[in-house]
Amino acid sequence: MIEVKNVYKSFDGIDILKNVSALFEPGKVNLIIGRSGSGKTVLLKSIVGLHEVDKGEIVYDGRSFTHMSEKERKFIRKEIGMLFQGSALFDSKTVEENVRFPLDVFSDMSSAEKRDRTNFCLKKVNLEKANELYPSELSGGMQKRVAIARAISLNPKYLFCDEPNSGLDPKTAIVIDELIYEITKEFNMTTIINTHDMNSVMGIGEKIVFIAGGEKAWEGTKEDILTSDNKELNDFIYASKFFKQMREGFLNKNNQM
């Protein structure tokens, strides 16, 4: 479980996050959603420690990350897996070397143990035979799967995903969503995804935090979204005609029952 408590963050005197509090639950796919510039990316980076908060606190399972020394934070970072927006693979390294990289840096495993763990993670993302390939030889979806394998190589308790479906076609995006959902459940991770992809929200979102103007404007489940009377949320969600029709159909069905 990750708790965000009354967090503030500003850059050059401009407030980006204002008194944001939220609870992200283990074993669930937690989503941070909002328009571009709303502060959702800054919130994700603040939680993972890429930004220091100005006020407030980030707590990992009762451990105050905010008030830890850098040495103490290293233990938390070993429990974190990160999936970056652009996959962030090393072009000069093979798939196997990319996945093994966190093990080389953070673990005391033997070479054989690292190889076994790397192959295990590649199998989880259905890339058993891709060890010797380079990122340039892979499709965008395959690169994302390699990045997921790398993110889970240290068997993390916490998984952070920054716009995991960015640049992917809809079919591939669904594959990535389902993969993230499956590994979240299998390893009981606290998964936090920063996204504006409404297919992800309605497909795999379990706990959803909506950020608007740097503040938490709403939180709930994907089922709650369909009956929400929050105007900012509705304007964001139902900008798409498809999701507007989905909501109308849901409400009409409920009214007839």
Element holding 219 (H helix, E strand) = strand 215-220
Write out the CATH class of domain 2-221: alpha beta
Of 169, 164, 171, nearest to 192 (Cα)?
Answer: 164
Q: What is the pLDDT along the chain (257 residues), one digit of tens a residue?
A: 999 999 999 999 999 999 999 999 999 999 999 988 889 999 999 999 999 999 999 999 999 999 999 888 888 988 999 888 877 899 999 999 999 999 998 888 999 999 999 999 999 998 988 999 999 999 989 999 999 999 999 999 999 999 888 888 889 899 989 999 999 999 999 999 999 888 888 899 999 999 999 999 999 998 888 888 888 888 888 765 555 555 556 556 656 55
In this structure, the number of other CB atoms found within 10 A of the CB of residue 72 comes to: 12
Q: Which residue in this structure is represented by tokens 């068997």?
A: 155
Q: In this structure, is the dihedral angle defined by the CA atoms of residues 114, 117, 123 and 124, taken in order, positive or negative?
A: negative
In this structure, the number of other CB atoms found within 10 A of the CB of residue 127 comes to: 21
User: Which 3 state secondary structure label does DSSP give 139?
Assistant: coil
Backbone angles phi, psi at 100, to 5 degrees: -75, -15
For residue 21 the two structure tokens come to 């509090």
Q: In this structure, is the dihedral angle defined by the CA atoms of residues 54, 59, 60 and 63, taken in order, positive or negative?
A: positive
- The residue extents of the domains of the chain are 2-221
